[in-house]
């Protein structure tokens, strides 16, 4: 059967329309890959050690940041990114900076085995003897009701919350269990075993590592 000129013309017009529509579709230009990296910050941890002297703090390892790297496949059409797909993920764990603290002062076994410090303060420290010669009617009593012994620390609760576990450089572990009328702001008072120890300690500036609450 022969096609009439009109039929051929219609076929050609339809073909032209189809070709125009196809040409208008976006062209896939290929696949590229990219990576995105997020840094994992190194932490700081403290651990007890009987190999470190009373009140001493020693750095035993420098920390190192870690990272998470994600690899994506990008799909481009007409020069524009229209999507991405995760291909794989690589993780490098962060290494914490580690300090060893001299295991002495407040009974460390009651405080746990490892801490992450909440904050480090530079403070003025004095010392007191828990006996009646220094404390009169308050001898043997603390704000939290524990017996005052070496390791008990008087603090201003507005600066260091009562119940906090502390590490005082040059003294050792402490427990913030007491307060005092003269202990305000950036001051702490450290319980000693005797009056002579108080005189030897005197008054000094110390670094106080607040390790968390008991």
CA distance 81 to 205: 60
Instruction: Indicate if 81 and 139 belong to the same structural domain.
Output: no
Q: In what order do the strands lie in the sheet with 28-40?
A: 28-40, 66-77, 80-92
Where residue 214 falls among pLDDT bands split at 50, 70, 90? low
Shared-domain flag, residues 124 and 205: yes
Residue 122 domain-assigned (yes or no) = yes
Residue 81: which domain range?
32-92
What is the average per-residue pLDDT within 68-94? 89
Name 183's Cβ contacts closer than 8 Å, sequence gap at least 6.
Answer: 154, 155, 156, 189
| Residues shown for the chain | 214
Per-residue CA distances from 56 to 94, 107, 148, 183 (Å) = 26, 16, 22, 24
Written as six digits, the tokens of 117 are 């410090």
Predicted local confidence at residue 26, as pLDDT: 46
- Overall number of domains in the chain: 2
Residues 44 and 124 in one domain: no
Question: Residue 78: pLDDT above 50?
Answer: yes
pLDDT for position 39: 95
Higher-confidence residue of 13 and 162: namely: 162
Residues 172, 209, single domain; the answer is yes
126 and 207 in a single domain? The answer is: yes
CATH number of the domain encompassing residue 129: 2.40.40.10
Q: What is the pLDDT of residues 83-92, one digit of tens each?
A: 888 999 999 9
Instruction: Check pLDDT > 50 for residue 181.
Output: yes
Render 25-75 in DSSP notation, one character per residue: SPPEEEEEEEEEEEEE---EEEEEETTS-TT-EEEEE--B-EEEEEEEEEE
In this predicted structure, the answer to whether residue 51 has a pLDDT above a threshold of 70 is yes
* pTM for this predicted structure: 0.63
Tokens of 163: 């119940």
Least confident of 15-19, 152-156, 185-189, 192-196: 15-19
The answer, yes or no, to whether residue 134 has pLDDT greater than 70, is: no
Asked if residue 2 belongs to a domain, the reply is no
């Amino acid at each position: 059967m022969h096609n009439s000129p009109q039929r051929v013309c219609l076929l050609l017009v339809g073909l032209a329309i189809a070709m125009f529509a196809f040409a208008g579709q976006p062209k896939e230009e290929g696949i590229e890959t990219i990576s995105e990296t997020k840094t994992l910050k190194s932490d700081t941890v403290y651990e007890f050690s009987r190999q470190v002297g009373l009140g001493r703090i020693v750095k035993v390892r420098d920390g190192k940041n870690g990272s998470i790297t994600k690899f994506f496949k990008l799909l481009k059409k007409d020069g524009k990114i229209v999507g991405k797909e995760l291909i794989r993920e690589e993780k490098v764990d962060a290494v914490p900076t580690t300090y060893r603290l001299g295991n002495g002062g407040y009974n460390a076994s009651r405080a746990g085995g490892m801490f992450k410090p909440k904050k480090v303060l530079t403070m003025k420290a004095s010392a007191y003897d828990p006996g009646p010669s220094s404390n009169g009617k308050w001898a043997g009593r603390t704000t939290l009701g524990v017996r005052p012994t070496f390791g008990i620390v008087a603090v201003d609760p507005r600066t260091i919350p009562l119940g906090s576990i502390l590490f005082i450089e040059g003294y050792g572990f402490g427990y913030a269990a007491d307060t005092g009328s003269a202990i305000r702001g950036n001051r702490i008072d450290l319980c000693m075993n005797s009056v002579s120890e108080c005189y030897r300690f005197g008054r000094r500036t110390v670094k106080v590592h607040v390790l968390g609450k008991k």
